[in-house]
Structure 1
């Protein structure tokens, strides 16, 4: 089977069987997790603090008229304790721009555990809908839901489904509905570190309507947040970015081993702050050049979008394993028309790296995005693959 042929029935059946095997593992974990203090509830049956607690706490503070205080770590942590009903070690920082409070506020009207379940139940279909838009097949959605980063995102109560869904749907609609695509891309400004490469791609191929729509949406979201929570929330957010940079990227309070970025791995390996930024900067510059060149070329629309999606992950210095949900979108764009045996093995490796990440306590899954990007590059520039084969021979 060639890389661009339709998936063979046997390949599709194998992928579906593998998906159900993953679902069985997920079912065991999520059904027993609350019993053993691993998910939703701790060993004493109390709400278990997880990443989502920062969303609930920020939302409750915004509801109570304290939106600017969400960037005060001591005040925000007090509301995290309120969320779970007991004190705990550590702190789950709120590093998002004010527009994400528009989402967090209504979620905080529910009790913490119920709110986390609702958050997952609402955002997971956004991810699934994006995969459906990309591949136009329900079996592809089933397979994408089995991607290991999906389970990680559910476990942490994180926003990977929203990020991946907005990006995937935006890129899928880019050619036929550019204004709608721009709206979805504009909403991604709630997580700005993931958007560095998107303007480069849109400018490279002249998607001016999408660019205008994205800019208007971002401004509208910022304006809505200002009207809802007051203008003082913006200086508080901007001031907090310096503390976040110092605590997370300089001091490693969030654990460098958990970052799946070139910056994080460089710090984990012992490089200094500025040396790690040089590594991250080199990766970002390389990806920017590749995205620009790829999006200037005619054809290969799926691989180009896959490269961009994988690049958005690798270009972010602040990325965790749940952010790899976006690679599900990248793989959907890349493999929707079939895959070669070598590509199947590469995808299996990506899945294993993501699974091994929390088990090993090391940032193994930092390799996941580069592997997916390399697969896309082979599709965009097939001559490179042929040259490599000749050189190896």
Structure 2
């Protein structure tokens, strides 16, 4: 608290301006929804809220993965003009139940504020000062993730917490990474990094914690709920490959090539080569114990690049490499042009659905810059425990 008070005294104008920006955006969106001016937006939290209400009302968890049943629940409790599939694993359902307050709008607003707090806490775990952490949580992708009611900020917090605990508490790292598997398409890179880096205790903890989550939900509900979840994933894979939501809302090389008109098999083969290159670079960096800034950045970029399903709101993960870039700029002003270039690429990749900017190229360039950028070992990042 003393550190926070001292930092506030030095940067109170920055704090005030950033908090005003964040709260103004959230209040504007809140009033916008309450007026009925929007219908299909903020659907991800709407799905979480409806799933939680169903669970609290005595509904069967396995039925949530049936599109027909879940659409009926949305028509019953929310607006019937926008429908979304329920695709979170059964282990995520307790959190969904915890957010299912009445009325919906206040629950949604609380989740928006909590998302910004989780992003800020993730940066504080990386020893970012308060004013810079607030600055990064006010960036467009962070605010967009919050107002859309998405869960990427929670994944970011669990990812950073796991890396911060890796040195002295590897068992806790495995637990955090297992909890982060509520987004399996992003969490797929986590065991690769642990295996390549030789963090076998953390890897075993990751496997054990994951199995504990699976078996505990099987015992509490039934094994049927996991079969229903896996079937839903197969269905959404087919929808994505057919471009049900449009290809340019995704970040992957596959989606970009399909958006340009290439055949499914050609795009999938190219994406496999692209993802394989990312895995090789990630494994090499973790095996050679590169500075933590480089390893964590490559972990974030690989998570965004490996899966064909990553979406624009997942770019909130990029506030981690942006924090490192701002820190390096403070230490060496000659890096300022590089920082500006990466910020532009970040914003362009965020607006890819409008400008049709190839996000894979932008993410690859960010990774190349970090591999080429010097991070002296004596100045290496020491995360909070």
Pick one of 182, 186, 194 that aligns with 1:194: 186
**Does the 8 Å CA contact 2:21/2:138 hold for their aligned counterparts?**
no
1:179 maps to 2:171: yes
1:350 maps to 2:341: no
- In structure 1, the residue matched to 2:51 is 58
- In structure 1, the residue matched to 2:123 is 131
- In structure 2, the residue matched to 1:374 is 368
- In structure 1, the residue matched to 2:314 is 323
| 1:183, distance to aligned residue in structure 2 (A) | 1.3
- In structure 1, the residue matched to 2:380 is none
**Does the 8 Å CA contact 2:40/2:81 hold for their aligned counterparts?**
no
**Does the 8 Å CA contact 2:189/2:303 hold for their aligned counterparts?**
yes
1:145 maps to 2:145: no
| 1:263, distance to aligned residue in structure 2 (A) | 1.6
The aligned runs of 1:263-278 (5 Å cut-off) are 263-278=254-269
The aligned runs of 1:60-139 (5 Å cut-off) are 60-63=53-56, 64-84=58-78, 86-89=79-82, 91-139=83-131
| 1:213, distance to aligned residue in structure 2 (A) | 1.6
* Secondary structure of 1:150 counterpart: helix
1:42 maps to 2:36: yes
**Does the 8 Å CA contact 1:310/1:330 hold for their aligned counterparts?**
no
Q: Could you tell me which runs of 5 or more consecutive residues in structure 1 were left unpaired when the two chains were aligned.
A: 1-12, 383-393
Pick one of 240, 251, 260 that aligns with 1:260: 251
In the alignment, the residues of structure 1 paired with residue 37 and residue 118 of structure 2 have an alpha-carbon distance, to the nearest angstrom, of 32
**Does the 8 Å CA contact 1:50/1:157 hold for their aligned counterparts?**
yes
Pick one of 332, 336, 351 that aligns with 1:341: 336
Would you say how many aligned residue pairs link Structure 1 and Structure 2? Answer: 361
Query: TM (normalized to structure 2)?
Result: 0.84
More divergent stretch after superposition (161-170 vs 109-118): 109-118
Go from structure 1 to structure 2 and tell me whether the alpha carbon gap of 1:114 and 1:230 turns closer, same or farther (over 3 Å shift): farther
| 1:313, distance to aligned residue in structure 2 (A) | 0.8
| 1:367, distance to aligned residue in structure 2 (A) | 4.5
Cα root mean square deviation, aligned: 2.9
Pick one of 146, 150, 153 that aligns with 1:154: 146
Query: TM (normalized to structure 1)?
Result: 0.82
